[in-house]
Amino acid sequence: MSSTPPGVFQRKATGLVREGRTRDALFYNIMWSSVALTFGFFWLFYAVYPGANAIIGFLIAGALGLPGAFLYAMLTQVMPRTGGDYVFNSRALHPSIGFASNFSYVFWLAVVIGVYTTYIAEYGLAALARTIAGYTGATWWLDVASWLTSSWGLFIVGTLLLIGSATLFALGGLRLFFRIQFWVFIVYVLGALLLPMLVGLFSGDGFAGRFDAYAANLGVTDASTKLAASATDAGFASTSFSWSETLKSVSVWWFIFGFIYSSNYFAGEIRMQRRTHLFSMPGAVALVVIILLLLTPSFLNIAGYDVMAQFGLADPASYGFAGAPAYAEIVSIASGSGIIGSIVIIGFAVSMIVWLPQTILLASRSMFAWSFDRVVPEQLSAVEPRTRSPLTAILVMLALSIASTAVYAFTDWFSSLAALLGLSFTLLVTAISGVVLPFRHPRLVAGTSFGRRVLGIPLLSLVGGLAVLGFGTAITILLIDPWSGASLSEDPLMIIVVGVVYVVAVAIYLISRAIRRRQGYDLDLAYRELPAE
Amino acid sequence: MGLFKRRERTGGADGPAHRLYFATDIHGAEVLWRKFLSAGAAYDARTLIMGGDVTGKVVIPIVATDEGWRADLYGDVQTATGEDQLKALEDRIRNSGLYPHRMTDEQVAEVGRMDEQRREAWFAEVMLVTFRRWLALAEERLEDGVRCFMMPGNDDPAGIDGAIEEATRVEACDDRIVEFGDYRMISLGYANRTPFDSPRELEEDEIYARVSRLADQVEDRDRLILNLHVPPHDSQLDIAPALDADLNVVMSGSEPKLVPVGSTAVRELIETYQPLLSLHGHVHESPGATKIGRTLAINPGSDYHTGRIAGCLVTLAPDRVRHQFVTG
């Protein structure tokens, strides 16, 4: 037995130090939050948000996500179980709502995965092929880049990557994935974050000259002039700062700050230190803000807002590209070095590649939680004995992901941001859970350090209320921003689709409940609070 | 339409179904014990089984001060004035799986000066007061017709065995064969060796010997239940974070490295005797159910520090066994 802090006596027993470290959960949240992808996105989207200020945009997005980060941390501390928001919402609101909100989250993850697979092909592999052509003059690499950005190129490469991710789990299980992920993270930080900062700081003036030289190897002379001319034809005009455009651009940054709490999904597998989640979730928000505060000005030092907007608007063929360059390729051009450029593009690509298995893993954890409560058949969480991989769940997610890749490769049904609305509604439901939990399960909350009241309001309800405001504002922006893929003006069907997914999920729950009752199981028992008086 | 086929709620031609509720690893959380006692009525279960690790790990001194009382919960200092506030503070501590103990500053200092052996004995005394109260609570709360079995787990000190044996409504089941309904149950609270050197650990061959000695006495293994605190090795019910020499979690990339920590002897016992059902706990973070041969093996896991009790309802019939995880 030991006496730890003053006044606390612990005896010899198992589990006293079986706790995860804060930095590991922080690391996980940052890995999943797609900083590089979003940053890459923004410079393309900048053309459609003329006058938007990147720094103000991500600061607003960070502020909207911060109360939610605290709320997720608190709820994870109160109910640390595998399944994350499914557990919170099914217990705090109603089992059908908990299932529907989590089902919707998994559905929209399956939709958004197509963004990643097609972007890997277009802005990762195609950009890499073009970089090799741009620095060596070997023009057949241009044909490779062109094929990679064609519909079939996007689909085939995306599908192969997805099958590779699923095979990784099937053959090597989680252990192999995490071993790979560690090295991927190093490449990601070096290539997608540190090198761009350094190139931005030290590349100096002369981007236009380097771009011209690079494009000359692709067969186009005086490319910077042609870029500007094509952008002007497409409607580009230098614009002064605009608050409304800056607010709308929050849609893009929401890709990071709306989804930086994912460590809640493995909370059930390891007991965290008392304040781990409080540091790792809001901490991830703060850390990403710092990264972006460093990355943005250094990137702006390369070529400035106007050139970035031109890249977003101009026809890529006018300056010899098969597709507009994302920030990784722009950094590559600015570096003037094929090797540095390749490392940056590889870092950018692997940050998206690793997101695929991470997402499959997250979805399979949710499916496990549904299956554990018998809402869906047990087979969905069946585990392969040797690797402990949930094979059925992985196969289901693989099929959905390939379908999503096909949609993004061959159609324009969804914009890159379209899934954000569906994903954000789950966040909003969780925020409402935070508000009502202290009233529906007072004992559950009272036993934690979040049981106190502020101005007579339960602390959890107060933070939940702020999260409702944050998530609600973000959803409002998505509904207003015509480029979000979910705006009421341009894509009025999207909110109906989001609603239909919820209705389908509630129906699945109710049907499952009826079937289980006939089989002798009462699903309601899984969520029933036992009296403790 | 097999999916919609109605199954009989009874056990069919060979007799009625028997529903039991199994929970484990409540680690001193009083609110969970109270919930456990109410599970018979809430779930319509005729048998309750508590699978071990029932006592807590931490004593929180509530120190008398000039203004009232003060407790230090890992740096979160809480105060109380008056008996009502003091009782509320004690309830909060109890429900978190900790033992509140009213003391003076001098007594706290004295315990701090004790050597390990004396402090373990002091802890056992403090713990036993609460544990006896729990058993008394069971006498008040358990409904007629509901049988309640309890065994210690690897974390429980030696003192609680006697208290369980003396209890009137709670029945001891450790290291013996007990009967309920048409079923016979063999229980063992010991675990295989852990890095924590907890009070009840055995070598694998000793675990096998103790259980097989009892299992050999049971002829009808179609109605045999094993209630063994530690889960079978490499069964999906025993996956826990790997620990290094300093008992820190080993990380693999950004997530904890998970490894099987169950007992090879328990696995061998299940494979050899093929009971109808085997019940386990010990590894909180690995809830689930799996089949080992024809045996359904279950670990409901534990979230004891959340105030919610993780359990499993098991319906036994001569020709089958069904289970449903519940969190109350």
pLDDT in tens, B100-143: 899 998 888 888 888 888 888 888 888 899 899 999 999 999 98
pLDDT bin (cut points 50, 70, 90) of residue A17 is very low
Instruction: State chain B's maximal CA–CA distance in angstroms.
Output: 73
Q: Do B198 and A13 touch (CB under 8 A)?
A: yes
Please enumerate in sequence order all residues whose Cβ is within 8 A of that of B300, keeping only pairs 6 or more positions apart, or say none.
B22, B23, B24, B281, B287, B310, B311, B312, B325
Beta-strand relationship, B183-188 and B224-228: parallel
pLDDT at B252 over 70: no
pLDDT at A351 over 60: yes
Nearest CA in chain A to B307: A444
Task: Transcribe A227-290 into DSSP letters.
Answer: HHHHHHHTT-------HHHHHHTHHHHHHHHTS--GGGGGGGGSEEPTTHHHHHHHHHHHHHHH
pLDDT digits (tens, 9 = 90+) for A136-165: 878 888 889 889 989 999 999 999 989 988
Q: Do B59 and A9 touch (CB under 8 A)?
A: yes
**Average pLDDT of A330-352?**
87
The chain-wide mean pLDDT, for chain B, equals 87
**With pLDDT > 70 as the criterion, what percentage of chain A qualifies?**
88
Closest CA to B324 of B7, B105, B11, B21: B21
CATH topology of domain B3-56+125-327: Purple Acid Phosphatase; chain A, domain 2 (3.60.21)
pLDDT bin (cut points 50, 70, 90) of residue B1 is very low
Q: What is the pLDDT of residue A287?
A: 87
Range in A229-233, A404-408, B88-92 with the lowest mean pLDDT: B88-92
Q: Do A13 and B7 touch (CB under 8 A)?
A: no
pLDDT at B178 over 90: yes
ipTM of the complex: 0.79
Range in A125-134, A335-344, A444-453 with the lowest mean pLDDT: A444-453
Q: Do B6 and A518 touch (CB under 8 A)?
A: yes
Task: Transcribe A162-206 into DSSP letters.
Answer: HHHHHHIIIIIHHHHHHHHHHHHHHHHIIIIIIHHHHHHHHS-S-
pLDDT at B10 over 60: no
Nearest CA in chain A to B92: A447
**Average pLDDT of B240-253?**
73
Residue B96 vs residue B205, higher pLDDT: B205
Q: Do A525 and B253 touch (CB under 8 A)?
A: no
Q: Which residues of A touch B197 (CB under 8 A)?
A: 12
Closest CA to A420 of A487, A324, A353: A487
**Average pLDDT of A478-484?**
93
Residue B217 vs residue A328, higher pLDDT: B217
- Among A8, A15, A515, select the one facing B60 at the smallest CB separation: A8
Nearest CA in chain A to B95: A447
Separation CA A26–CA A262 (nearest Å): 10
pLDDT digits (tens, 9 = 90+) for B295-317: 999 999 988 877 789 999 999 98
Separation CA A16–CA A13 (nearest Å): 7
Measure A23 CA to nearest chain B CA, in Å. 9
**Average pLDDT of A274-293?**
83
Q: What is the pLDDT of residue A103?
A: 95
| B76 φ, ψ (degrees, to nearest 5) | -95, 95
Q: What is the pLDDT of residue B8?
A: 42
pLDDT at A82 over 80: no
- Among B4, B120, B236, select the one facing A383 at the smallest CB separation: B236
Closest CA to A391 of A234, A83, A169, A185: A169
B137 interface with A at CB cutoff 8 Å: no
**Average pLDDT of B209-238?**
94
Separation CA B57–CA B302 (nearest Å): 15
The chain-wide mean pLDDT, for chain A, equals 84
Please enumerate in sequence order all residues whose Cβ is within 8 A of that of A401, keeping only pairs 6 or more positions apart, or say none.
A110, A113, A114, A117, A162, A356, A360
Q: What is the pLDDT of residue B13?
A: 41
Q: What is the pLDDT of residue A251?
A: 92
- List, by residue range, all CATH 3.60.21.10 domains of chain B: 3-56+125-327
- Among A91, A519, A532, select the one facing B34 at the smallest CB separation: A532
Q: What is the pLDDT of residue B12?
A: 41
pLDDT digits (tens, 9 = 90+) for A178-211: 677 778 878 888 888 889 889 888 877 788 999 9
Q: What is the pLDDT of residue A13?
A: 52
- For B136, the token pair is 């008394």
**Average pLDDT of A297-320?**
86
Measure B311 CA to nearest chain A CA, in Å. 9
Q: Do B325 and A81 touch (CB under 8 A)?
A: no
Range in A195-199, A504-508, B152-156 with the lowest mean pLDDT: A195-199
pLDDT digits (tens, 9 = 90+) for A367-377: 888 888 889 98
Place of tokens 């089992």: A95
Name the B residues in 50-79 with CB < 8 Å from any A CB. 57-61, 63, 71-76
Residue A204 vs residue A515, higher pLDDT: A515
pLDDT at B188 over 50: yes
pLDDT at A464 over 60: yes
Range in A49-53, B262-266, B279-283 with the lowest mean pLDDT: A49-53
Please enumerate in sequence order all residues whose Cβ is within 8 A of that of A467, keeping only pairs 6 or more positions apart, or say none.
A67, A68, A70, A71, A427, A430, A431, A434
Residue A300 vs residue A11, higher pLDDT: A300
